[in-house]
Amino acid sequence: MNKELKSLFQEYFDQPVKKNNKLPIHGSNRVRYRLTGETHTAIGVENSDHAENVAFIAFARHFHRHGLLVPEIYAEKLDSNIYLEEDLGKQTLFDMLTEKRQDSATFPQEMEALYAKVVGILPDFQIKASEALNYDVCYPRHSFDRQSIMWDLNYFKYYFLKLAQISFDEQKLEDDFNRFADFLLQPERDFFLYRDFQSRNVMIRDGEPYFIDFQGGRRGALQYDIASMLYDSKANLPFDVRERLLNVYLDAAQAQISLDRNEFLRYYYGYVLVRLMQAMGAYGFRGFYERKTHFLQSVPFAIRNLEYVLKTDSLPRELPTLTDCLQKITRSTKLRELGNSKLPLTIHLQSFSYKRGLPKDETGHGGGFIFDCRVLPNPGRLDEYKHLTGNDKAVIAFLEHRQEIHSFLTRVRDLISQVVENYSARNFSHLSISFGCTGGQHRSVYCANQLNKFLLEKYQVKVELSHREEESWPVSEL
């Protein structure tokens, strides 16, 4: 260990280092130690990148003066590229989320509350504390400008697309990158952009979030950091939780500045995508290139996020080559199976009426089935069942006594079982299954309900069941 770090600790705390533990190195070249004396502990940092040290220390002291929960900088020797910072403990937000999820099949409420606190504080960094911040120390760029964007996009191209053997036309992709950069540069960009605002950079001490690793901060748009936190790949937040947390963030930002939500959302998913691409470049560099295979565990989760972004249909239309590359990634079984990660399979199950057209597949990768129930006996033709639905006992009894129903559902279950097991093994995260009949009221509803029961009993999957025509059903006379 660097002897100067020990000397710096002794000078500041007036006691020698009794114990030092080297901390794990993640995606940084910094070497960090937990230094323990008689009555004090601190984190000692060695980092040969002088400019990065200057940025971190300047930002940390600025945020600390503004009352934000960041590590206090105790002492530094910048000519030796070392410094001491406050020891915030060992538990990150990601660690806590992983621990709590072991005890819960659903997203723990206490974690959503903690995430809400974290994203509610974010505007304090971006807006309130950005005033009087010395952007001259920003590293390596003063703003998330065209150059920064193109660095990230090319990082993705060379370290993910090429190493993952995704084919593309280089000139056409470069043209799309320039058009995408034009789009990202349109919103206001005069805020502090934290740059790496994600669950591993939030420490939890005594139930409170503390914020670290903002040395890459610069001027930029508000959308980038909240996208980083909510689309943090391995955190794998449920999409409904992400939407609620996004609203928490927007409420907090609107408390500080005038903010047009629609205008914010117009660019939001573009920033989600550029952040995902930057992260995938990092996974490729660390995993494919440096052979640190644990980084590849995040790739399947990133693909799940890509699927969701692609189905939002909110990206600029004039990016055909980039879109084609992203779709190739989502269709790749090889990439989905990297790192032995296990993604949960969500099955979107619904009934519908053919009179109102086929349901739109919202799963992102286009996989799924539509079963035509119009070949089955129709209770809707009988007066006693016209005002009932496939949820009612009388209709259920009518259908259960028909051999055609049992034969039809047996074949459906056999086919779907094969697909569920295959999709689960290949790390596909979505499957769409629809049952249609004439009115979307009797046969399709019954069949969707029966398959829902079968899937939940046989597999560890999440099923989202809906009946598309429910609002138009007649009021039951029972």
- Output the domain CATH number for residue 159: 3.90.1200.10
The yes-or-no verdict on residue 349 having pLDDT over 50 is yes
55 and 174 share a domain? no
Choose one of 59, 85, 111: the last residue of a domain: 85
At residue 478 the predicted structure's pLDDT band, cuts being 50, 70 and 90, is: very low
331 and 350 share a domain? no
The percentage of residues in the chain with a pLDDT greater than 70, rounded to a whole number, is: 96
At residue 356 the predicted structure's pLDDT band, cuts being 50, 70 and 90, is: very high
Neighbouring-strand partners of residue 372: 436
**pLDDT at residue 475, as a whole number:** 61
The yes-or-no verdict on residue 365 having pLDDT over 80 is no
361 and 453 share a domain? yes
For 235-284, how does the pLDDT look when each residue is reduced to its tens digit (9 = 90+)?
Answer: 999 999 999 999 999 999 999 999 999 999 999 999 999 999 999 999 99
Backbone angle region of 169, left / alpha / beta, with phi > 0 → left and psi within -120 to 50 → alpha? beta
**pLDDT at residue 474, as a whole number:** 79
Lowest pLDDT segment from 65-79, 95-109, 136-150, 422-436: 95-109
**Inside any domain, residue 477:** no
Residues 437 and 354 sit within 8 Å (Cβ to Cβ): yes
**pLDDT at residue 362, as a whole number:** 63
Segment 39-57 mean pLDDT: 97
146 and 267 share a domain? yes
Segment 23-36 mean pLDDT: 86
142 and 218 share a domain? yes
Range of the domain at 402: 346-472
**pLDDT at residue 27, as a whole number:** 62
185 and 294 share a domain? yes
75 and 97 share a domain? no
Indicate the number of domains in the chain. Answer: 3
The three-class DSSP label of residue 80 is helix
**Inside any domain, residue 306:** yes
The chain-wide mean pLDDT, for the chain, equals: 93
Under DSSP, the state recorded for 65 is: H
**pLDDT at residue 463, as a whole number:** 94
Segment 320-326 mean pLDDT: 96
d(CA 422, CA 454): 17
The yes-or-no verdict on residue 383 having pLDDT over 50 is yes
**pLDDT at residue 477, as a whole number:** 44
**pLDDT at residue 430, as a whole number:** 86
328 and 428 share a domain? no
The first and second tokens of residue 175, run together, are 């043209």
The yes-or-no verdict on residue 80 having pLDDT over 50 is yes
Q: Which residues of 422-454 are buried (b: 16+ CB within 10 A; e: fewer)?
A: ebbeebbbbbbbbbbbbbbbbbbbbbbbbbbeb
The yes-or-no verdict on residue 392 having pLDDT over 80 is yes
Distances (CA, A) of 243 to 118, 240, 250, 468: 15, 5, 11, 22
362 and 428 share a domain? yes
Choose one of 85, 113, 133: the last residue of a domain: 85
Bond before 209 cis per omega within 30 degrees: no
At residue 338 the predicted structure's pLDDT band, cuts being 50, 70 and 90, is: confident
For 155-187, how does the pLDDT look when each residue is reduced to its tens digit (9 = 90+)?
Answer: 999 999 999 999 999 999 999 999 999 999 999
Q: What is the pTM of this model?
A: 0.81
**pLDDT at residue 14, as a whole number:** 97
At residue 7 the predicted structure's pLDDT band, cuts being 50, 70 and 90, is: very high
328 and 447 share a domain? no
**Inside any domain, residue 355:** yes
Q: Return the higher-pLDDT residue of 345 and 382.
A: 382
For 438-476, how does the pLDDT look when each residue is reduced to its tens digit (9 = 90+)?
Answer: 999 999 999 999 999 999 999 988 899 999 999 988 765
**pLDDT at residue 397, as a whole number:** 97
Segment 389-403 mean pLDDT: 96
CATH number at residue 17: 3.30.200
**Inside any domain, residue 478:** no
**pLDDT at residue 321, as a whole number:** 97
d(CA 464, CA 132): 49
The three-class DSSP label of residue 309 is helix
**pLDDT at residue 192, as a whole number:** 98
| Segments of 252-322 assigned E as strands | none
Q: Which residues of 192-223 are buried (b: 16+ CB within 10 A; e: fewer)?
A: bbbbbbbbbbbbbeeeebbbbbbbbbbbbbbb
Segment 218-223 mean pLDDT: 98
**Inside any domain, residue 189:** yes
The yes-or-no verdict on residue 120 having pLDDT over 80 is yes
350 and 328 share a domain? no
The amino acid sitting at 72 is: E
Q: Which residues of 342-381 are buried (b: 16+ CB within 10 A; e: fewer)?
A: ebebbbbbbbbbbeeeebebebbbeebeebebeebbbbbe
199 and 219 share a domain? yes
Choose one of 40, 68, 85: the last residue of a domain: 85
